[in-house]
Structure 1
């Protein structure tokens, strides 16, 4: 099963990290020295994704600019002999025609955002990557999922899952665990934010999906669910009646950058993972904690 396209829902308002996101898209907030959106696009590139589909909203044009070439900056760097910086920018820039942008226009939920990409994705399986969730690992989470999908074959749908403490399952979408093959298992049920004590497992649904195109037909008529929004989980429950879903326990450290504490934690974790920054960052934190 070849996965060529990935959908990045980037129309959200980022209310959990206001006021930083009043004028700046949350996807452009930086972890160390790169915006969030660059990390997830890099993850998709590593996984073999060829076409990057961004579902945007108002005040998100800077994301499109980020993935375009800036001739003035390029000329300035060239004149100053900053070839290393030029090489970084060239490496991050997608190939011509490899990006598409479409508008969600109304904040109707993740399911609606995915549905907005239907004409660009077409009739083929695709990935969905939530930009405010980063996974620190090589190979990346999406590559691990695509490798699992290739082994499963057929019309398989896959969800990246992570164990959470049992007393917190009511905060997440939770999936039931069926037959297992290593770190992949058949999902035998899904529920969005179950009441305490009723969750089928403690495996939470995270921000990486591989879905078959039939999900679009379900989303087209999907009624609003939790939060009065069109929920992707509800549509996946519908699709699970005719197609198999699998959970993939990915290897890596997940960071929820949509919260302020998670954003700060991610900066420390990704900084410590950099050989060129690790020692200096450790010393700065040590000095601060000794105050």
Structure 2
């Protein structure tokens, strides 16, 4: 069983659900407390043993690459002023550890992953959607890598979703269960509630085998007129082991303003240096 050393970050989206904040700034660079969304995802990948980060970008996304580059002027200024460089530790990588490829047309998540095929090569790889901010110890991907070490094959992150919201998720047809591990017997992309095989939705994290790449290159458009990653994964079921891992932690959907604000509040309240001020503000305004 090959280890999971590479991770794909599909970050070419326009962030239209959170305009106008994303008109000139990539949504993945919006800060939650004091770190951009993309850094939370990258740090989660690092914790899980990922060695190479692959950004699938679009036009106007240069700030993502800049964030993980060395800023000589900033570091020289901080050093000269006697300031610690520790806050920048999560943004520093050896040469070649962060690479990018362009998704030249908005053809869906499956197409974005397919765009990374030459860099992924013949290795298993992870996919992380930075919009889904996962908070837990160990991190979500580390939990999935641990499960991968036991069962191999393909792993998705699973979460129970409200029955009325199945049309917003890829939904698992479940098989045998072993604690937080569920055998995946089938996948349906965004089914209506009355047609959903369960309420176990796929969210934001995947470990996939390289055999999915030629499938993604051949399948047609699915739900929403896009090339769906769920359709590609469904083709592997029965051919390779396939499981879902229910994440032991919290998920914040930062793809819209509501989720973004709640994530800032939740992570701020988890900080000893910020929580007292936040609680005092909420008490004063009748919010706590």
Is the shorter-chain TM-score for this pair beyond 0.5, marking a shared fold?
yes
Q: Do the aligned partners of residues 91 and 169 (structure 1) sit closer, same or farther apart at CA in structure 2, a change above 3 Å counting?
A: closer
Counterpart for residue 207 of structure 1: 204
Cα offset, 1:290, TM superposition: 6.3
Cα offset, 1:170, TM superposition: 2.4
- Separation in 2 of the partners of 1:267 and 1:201? 31
Aligned residues: CA RMSD: 1.3
List per-residue Cα deviations over 1:84-123 (Å, max 9, x = no partner).
xx12213431222211111011111100000000010110
- Separation in 2 of the partners of 1:125 and 1:11? 22
Query: Secondary structure of the residue that 1:189 maps to in structure 2?
Result: strand
- Aligned pair 1:167/2:167, yes or no? no
Cα offset, 1:171, TM superposition: 2.3
- Separation in 1 of the partners of 2:67 and 2:259? 24
Given candidates 223, 228, 231, the residue that maps to 1:226 is 223
List per-residue Cα deviations over 1:257-277 (Å, max 9, x = no partner).
001100000000111111221
Structure 1 unaligned regions, length at least 5: none
- Separation in 2 of the partners of 1:256 and 1:91? 22
Q: Please, what TM-score do these two structures have when normalized by structure 1?
A: 0.96
- Aligned pair 1:158/2:155, yes or no? yes
The equivalences for 1:1-291 within 5 A come to 1=1, 2-83=3-84, 86-153=85-152, 156-289=153-286
Aligned residues: 287
Q: Do the aligned partners of residues 89 and 238 (structure 1) sit closer, same or farther apart at CA in structure 2, a change above 3 Å counting?
A: same
Moved more, 52-61 or 220-229: 220-229
Structure 2 unaligned regions, length at least 5: none
List 4+ stretches of structure 1 deviating above 2 A. Answer: 288-291
List per-residue Cα deviations over 1:231-289 (Å, max 9, x = no partner).
10011111224122101011011000001100000000111111221112111222222
Cα offset, 1:158, TM superposition: 0.5
Q: Please, what TM-score do these two structures have when normalized by structure 2?
A: 0.97
> 2:67·2:91 contact (CA, 8 Å) conserved in 1?
no
